[in-house]
Amino acid sequence: LGGAPFARLNVGAKNGTFTVTGPLNPGLVMAGPVQRLTAPFVQVNLTTTLDQRRANTKLILNSQAMTVAADGIVDLARNQFENLKLGVKLSQPGAALPNLRARDLRLTAVLNGAFRTPFVAYDLQAAALGFNQTTLENVRARGRAKVDADRIMVPISAQVRRITGLSPSVGGLLTNVSLDGTLAMSGTRILSDDLKIRSDRINATAVVVGDFAKGQYQAGLQGRINNYQVDGVGLLDLNTDIDVVTTANGFGLSGTIAARTKRIDNASARDFLGGNTSVAAHVRMSPEGVITADNIRLRAPLFRLTSGKATYWPNGRIDFRGAGISQAYGAIAVVVTGTTMRPNVQLKAANPGFGIGLRNVSATVRSTAGGWAIQASGESAYGPFVTDVTILASRGPMTIDIRRLVFAGVTFTGRVVQTRAGPFAGTLAMSGQGLSGTIRLAAEGRYQRADIDALANGAQIPGENPILIQRGIIRATAILYPGAPHIVGDVQLAGVRSSNFLIRTARARIDYRNGTGTAQVVADGSSGVPFQVAVNAALTPELIRAAAQGNVNRIPFRLARPAEIRKAGGDWVLAPVQVVLPQGNVLLAGRMGASGMTVQSRLQNLDLSIVNAFSPGLGIGGRATGSLDFAQRGSAFPQAEARLTINNFTRTGIAVRSTPVDMAVLGTLRPEGGALAAVIRRGGAVIGRAQVRLQPVGGGGSWSQRLFAAPLAGGIRYNGPAEVLWSLGGMADAHLSGPIGVAADFSGRVDNPQLTGIVRANNLTFVDETYGTRLTNLALAGRFTSSRLEIERLSGKAGRGTLTGSGSVGFASAAGYPIDLRFHFDHAQLARSDNIGATVTGDLAVTNSRSGGALISGDLVLPEVRYQIVRQGAAQVIELQGVRRKGDPLPTPGAQTAAASDEIPSIWKLDLRVRADNQLFISGMGLESEWGADLRIQGTSATPSIVGQAELIRGTYSFSGRRFNVDRGIITFTGARPPNPRLDISASADINDVTVTINVSGSSTNPQIAFTSSPQLPQDELLARVLFGGSVTELSALQAVQIASSLNSLRGGGGGLNPLGKLRSATGLSRLRVLGSDAATGRGTAIAAGFYVSNKIYLELVTDARGFTATQIEIALSKALSLLSQVGSQGSSNVNLRYRKQY
């Protein structure tokens, strides 16, 4: 046929026996599996004997792909088979079915019954049998199939030693497998929905759909898989429910898959998820092989996938979109497109953190022709960051091209290429924020070498606690030899400041080569208190020996002998070492590494004043003896124990020292829970007891979450000095003293405690050393009810005024710590120091709730406020910035600004109205003034918004020996954040028949100062008259120096010792000032003392050393209209009516 032989058969017949032998090529007329199985031809060997139309047949067919043998009766009269035995061996299985793979595949069968609908008893064996990527090893299947007119039903009873190819870990599951069920075949399609699968650890029903013609096979499971071990992930329980569905294009699969972890082995996944996790999805597979997963849901203690959808196409294309919420990283969204070989990833994370405060991160990873392009941006605690990196790996050596990486204001650029030896070579450069330098990478033989050369000059690293580095030098070389790297380096730092932590000078050197080396560290600085530390260490791969000494807050310390830290397996072990102090000592030991962390400490007569070195202002004293132990393995539940005896415990302030007490404390932390017990004694008598228990601990979540979710039980009884309880709060520069009694029992849970008890006090004193606040005769009556402290009565004296209050404070975190406190002030003096004093009248409310949030609101009147503008060193010589004598110590960075608070305050919303009709006194830097104000304070405590005005009532300003009367003063707050009010201030004086006016305008952060005069004079002439009372042409060299000093005073150099302020504060006067001489009234240099008789009547007495006296009185008839009267010793008196209006 078609020029090719179809058959070359030899046919013979003798005595009813027929023979047919020779080659046959059925592929010329038949396509598909027949053509592939018989190519290039099939050798036929047929012998059959006919007797009454019954053919006793023996047939052998041989081709390159198969061998078929048949032996039995073919009854042509009755159209049926009688014990027709068949044997088939496939040497090329793929010729029969696409995607079929087999080794030693044999099939034997016996046919009986009608030609069209015979019964077939079969036995199939194979060393290996596979479809697509799935392989069945050592297969044997038996059964008796029934052939119907439209389909073939094949019962299956099979055993498989192992099924592989489903996933890297399923091979461990599907061993010693048995399959029992029925397989239906119709045309070229195959179907089974009751194929029972049993193995050592699986019990499920398989759903199988296939098409011989297309070579497509699909399978799913219905059932449960217990203890499913996924290597590198953990132990799972799986539930599947997959059904066969019929579509217009053929058979498909549809159903659900659910899984729950019983153990998570991957540490990163366990930390991210927070514990055992459940995941579920609806899965579909189309006849074309497209797999779609919808409604993907994942729930874990620390992460929740709220939406997810994935699609996989047979050509490798993928599309995944998911979004979730992580307690650690915030909202996360991921989109993956492209193909399995070249995926593209888009990631958005609200708050990943990673220890540097990353937030609002957006990243894209694109597959390119040569590798990968990575771009990312976002915010961090150190400012914005941007990343643009390309990784080339497809052709030539791997190349990493850092086009731009910006972090903390520092830009990194460079290109590194992998060398033939393996390490990378190239240069990375950094610059910005006062930092500059390079990192040079090179190959040292087969090992990576890095040379670092960096400089810091006035470097500023932004962040919540910005870091300032005045000077820094880093020079180091590292060669990463396996087991013992080569590291030689020298680091020098000067003027490093972050918040109140300062390193004045520091130097560290390391020389580690060939497995041995030395390291030295010397540092001098302060953390609220000064410290000096020196460490000298000898290094080997198995042992670190280090000696250390220094002092903290002038308390010296040293190691009694060098500390020894030895390598033990995967751990480093600190041998017991004694820290020697002037009063007492501490013995330390520990272990850290693969087995976790263990710390053991023993205290002997330790002076607790050393604690003040780490939290200045606490004023803690006493002696501690006992032990503190802690042990934890990974993130498992830790074990800890504290046994302490503290003798003569005290809390000391500027003017307060608490009564010494003795304390005994026992605390334990175990996997079953935590407990704390304490006893407080004074003079041998017990004045307080406390017991707290958190047990038993439940499951799920981190160990701290489990602990605080445990049942709470215990109580407290205390009748003694309040200083002891106050010291537990750790508030520096504030003290509460006096007797107090507390009795309370608690139960419930930490997030919703149940309390019963009372608190009573009648003569407490509160002192704040920062503002000079002193509240006396404080009385407190409260009752613990449910999860709240109900304050029934709070009263006390504040100077000449009083304060009262009541309300409640909630301790339930589940309710959002509800607070409702109401205070009333009546001329309460809440601040009294050299720099500020304030008296307050009005009502204040402090509230907190889940719905309304934290709020401080009220309407306050300030009968009297004093603010002293102080800047030390009025008579200082101006120095050039940044110039110092070689060898002199560095100036303290940021010393011109106050140190930041040790603690971040809570954020409270504000809604306050603050009014002061008068007696708002502001003095200092030559200014003596009185103001009135009406302000509205809103926003938050972190970013307050102030709206309103402050208006001048009276005032003077002294500049260069001249006294100016402040004629106009308006400060307008516009609500800017931070507050930046507008200024409109004018002061004038008569100097040698010239009226000179100083005008201040602009804003508080950018004030504009201008001089004008009447008659008008040039600026240089005007300045000369103001400073020296003469013409500019008459200036001497000394007067030129005085000009510089006066300009410095104008710039804000006043302050220093303020004897008048001390005298005014001691006498209680409202105003105390010095007046220059006045020839018209006969007054010499005089002193004026004034005070308010009432809110509207101001009386001032003026006297000099020559007998001149005068009494001035001002009566405010309204805000704009005043009556002024003066009576003097020289017989002069007058009465004036003054109307004043600001425009």
- Dump the DSSP string for 556-608: EEEESS-EEEEEETTEEEEEEEEEE-SS-EEEEEEEEETTEEEEEEEEEEEEG
Q: Which of these, 111, 126, 22, 28, lies nearest to 75 by C-alpha position?
A: 111
Higher-pLDDT residue of 116, 1142: 116
For residue 123, give Cα distances in angstroms to 87, 145, 254, 978. 10, 11, 32, 88
Within a domain: 909: no
Higher-pLDDT residue of 227, 29: 29
For residue 404, give Cα distances in angstroms to 227, 390, 392, 923. 48, 10, 16, 53
pLDDT tens per residue, range 1094-1129: 566 666 767 665 556 666 676 665 656 676 666 665
Residues 334 and 376 in one domain: no
The answer on pLDDT for 900 being more than 50 is: no
Q: Which of these, 147, 219, 121, 119, lies nearest to 179 by C-alpha position?
A: 219
The SS3 of residue 279 is strand
pLDDT tens per residue, range 49-72: 998 889 999 999 999 989 999 999
Tokens 């990575």 — which residue? 374
How does residue 1079 score in pLDDT terms, banded at 50, 70 and 90?
low
Residues with Cβ within 8 Å of residue 276, at least 6 apart in sequence = 260, 261, 262, 263, 264, 300, 700
The answer on pLDDT for 436 being more than 90 is: yes
**Residue 726: its pLDDT value, please?**
77
Residue 685 to residue 716: CA distance in whole angstroms:
16
Long-range CB contacts for residues 217-221, cutoff 8 Å, separation at least 24 = 217/99, 217/131, 217/132, 217/190, 218/251, 218/252, 218/253, 218/285, 218/289, 219/134, 220/253, 220/255, 220/283, 220/285, 221/197
How does residue 935 score in pLDDT terms, banded at 50, 70 and 90?
confident
Tokens 């006396």 — which residue? 776
Residues 410 and 435 in one domain: yes
Within a domain: 170: no
* CB-CB contact of 1110 with 1127 (8 Å): yes
* CB-CB contact of 961 with 1102 (8 Å): no
**Residue 475 belongs to domain spanning:** 352-486
Residues 280 and 316 in one domain: yes
The answer on pLDDT for 641 being more than 90 is: yes
Mean pLDDT of the residues in the chain: 81
Tokens 């011109």 — which residue? 896
Long-range CB contacts for residues 693-696, cutoff 8 Å, separation at least 24 = 694/750, 696/672
**Residue 544: its pLDDT value, please?**
94
Exposure string for 631-644, b = 16+ CB within 10 A, e = fewer: bbeeeebbeeebbb
Q: What is the identity of the amino acid at 216?
A: Q
**Residue 653: its pLDDT value, please?**
58
* CB-CB contact of 68 with 61 (8 Å): yes
* CB-CB contact of 174 with 199 (8 Å): yes
Higher-pLDDT residue of 894, 139: 139
Residues 397 and 280 in one domain: no
Which secondary-structure segment (H or E) carries 272?
helix 267-273
How does residue 493 score in pLDDT terms, banded at 50, 70 and 90?
very high
Say which range, 208-212, 917-921, 1064-1068, has the weakest mean pLDDT: 1064-1068
Q: CA torsion angle for 958, 963, 967, 972 (degrees, to 10)? A: 0
Residues 14 and 160 in one domain: yes
Residues 363 and 402 in one domain: yes
Q: What are phi and psi of 705, to 5 degrees?
A: -65, -40
Q: In the numeric block, which tokens belong to residue 741?
A: 């009694």
Tell me what percent of the residues of the chain surpass a pLDDT of 70.
Answer: 80
- Looking at 109, 141, 164, the residue that finishes a domain is 164
The answer on pLDDT for 116 being more than 90 is: no
Residue 260 to residue 234: CA distance in whole angstroms:
10
The answer on pLDDT for 276 being more than 50 is: yes
How does residue 1027 score in pLDDT terms, banded at 50, 70 and 90?
low
pLDDT tens per residue, range 85-97: 999 998 888 888 7
Q: In the numeric block, which tokens belong to residue 631?
A: 């042990």
* CB-CB contact of 468 with 446 (8 Å): no
**Residue 149: its pLDDT value, please?**
75
Higher-pLDDT residue of 9, 1114: 9
Residues 293 and 362 in one domain: no
Residue 1101 to residue 1060: CA distance in whole angstroms:
16
Residues with Cβ within 8 Å of residue 1079, at least 6 apart in sequence = none
**Residue 236: its pLDDT value, please?**
80
**Residue 234: its pLDDT value, please?**
78
Tokens 């300009």 — which residue? 1047
Higher-pLDDT residue of 992, 111: 111
**Residue 377: its pLDDT value, please?**
92
536 burial (CB, 10 Å; 0-12 / 13-18 / 19+) is: middle
Within a domain: 873: no
Within a domain: 21: yes
Residues 285 and 385 in one domain: no
Tell me what percent of the residues of the chain surpass a pLDDT of 90.
Answer: 31
How does residue 743 score in pLDDT terms, banded at 50, 70 and 90?
very high
- Looking at 648, 683, 716, the residue that finishes a domain is 648
Mean per-residue pLDDT, 796-813: 90
Residues 1104 and 1136 in one domain: yes
462 burial (CB, 10 Å; 0-12 / 13-18 / 19+) is: middle
Residue 410 to residue 155: CA distance in whole angstroms:
72
* DSSP 8-state code for residue 814: G
**Residue 630: its pLDDT value, please?**
93
Give yes or no for a cis peptide into 978 (omega within 30° of 0).
Answer: yes
Which secondary-structure segment (H or E) carries 847?
strand 836-849
**Residue 1075: its pLDDT value, please?**
63
Query: The dihedral of CA 1037, 1041, 1042, 1043: what is its sign?
Result: positive
Residues with Cβ within 8 Å of residue 322, at least 6 apart in sequence = 296, 305, 307, 308, 309, 310, 333, 334
User: How do 1109-1116 and 119-131 pair as beta strands?
Assistant: unpaired
Q: Provide the β-strand partners of residue 780.
A: 761, 794
Mean per-residue pLDDT, 897-902: 34
Residues 45 and 153 in one domain: yes
How does residue 603 score in pLDDT terms, banded at 50, 70 and 90?
very high
For residue 301, give Cα distances in angstroms to 271, 636, 1000. 10, 16, 60
pLDDT tens per residue, range 376-419: 999 887 888 899 999 887 677 888 899 999 988 899 999 999 89
**Residue 572: its pLDDT value, please?**
92
- Looking at 486, 504, 522, the residue that finishes a domain is 486
How does residue 874 score in pLDDT terms, banded at 50, 70 and 90?
very low
Higher-pLDDT residue of 882, 711: 711
The answer on pLDDT for 1062 being more than 60 is: no
* DSSP 8-state code for residue 1032: G
Say which range, 107-116, 266-275, 864-873, has the weakest mean pLDDT: 864-873
Residues 21 and 133 in one domain: yes
Mean per-residue pLDDT, 109-117: 91
In whole angstroms, how large is the CA radius of gyration of the chain?
46
* DSSP 8-state code for residue 273: H
**Residue 831: its pLDDT value, please?**
76
Residues 334 and 371 in one domain: no
Q: What are phi and psi of 701, to 5 degrees?
A: 85, 180
Mean per-residue pLDDT, 105-115: 92
* CB-CB contact of 559 with 586 (8 Å): no
How does residue 944 score in pLDDT terms, banded at 50, 70 and 90?
confident
User: How do 909-924 and 853-868 pair as beta strands?
Assistant: parallel
How does residue 891 score in pLDDT terms, banded at 50, 70 and 90?
very low
Query: The dihedral of CA 1084, 1087, 1093, 1098: what is its sign?
Result: positive
* DSSP 8-state code for residue 7: B
For residue 249, give Cα distances in angstroms to 150, 246, 288, 290, 678. 19, 8, 8, 12, 77
Higher-pLDDT residue of 207, 1048: 207
The SS3 of residue 201 is coil
Q: Which of these, 317, 321, 314, lies nearest to 293 by C-alpha position?
A: 321
**Residue 1073: its pLDDT value, please?**
62
Within a domain: 225: no
Residue 965 to residue 954: CA distance in whole angstroms:
8
How does residue 329 score in pLDDT terms, banded at 50, 70 and 90?
confident
The answer on pLDDT for 709 being more than 60 is: yes
Q: In total, how many domains does the chain have?
A: 5
Within a domain: 236: yes
**Residue 328: its pLDDT value, please?**
75
For residue 595, give Cα distances in angstroms to 263, 271, 321. 19, 17, 39
Tokens 């307008």 — which residue? 972
pLDDT tens per residue, range 839-866: 899 999 989 888 878 888 999 898 887 7
pLDDT tens per residue, range 748-794: 988 888 999 999 999 999 888 777 788 999 999 999 998 899 999 99
Q: In the numeric block, which tokens belong to residue 698?
A: 């439940």
Tokens 């009766």 — which residue? 73
Beta strands in 188-317 (DSSP E): 189-198, 202-211, 216-230, 234-247, 250-264, 278-285, 291-299, 303-312
Higher-pLDDT residue of 1059, 725: 725
Within a domain: 388: yes
The answer on pLDDT for 1070 being more than 90 is: no
Within a domain: 675: no
Higher-pLDDT residue of 492, 1000: 492
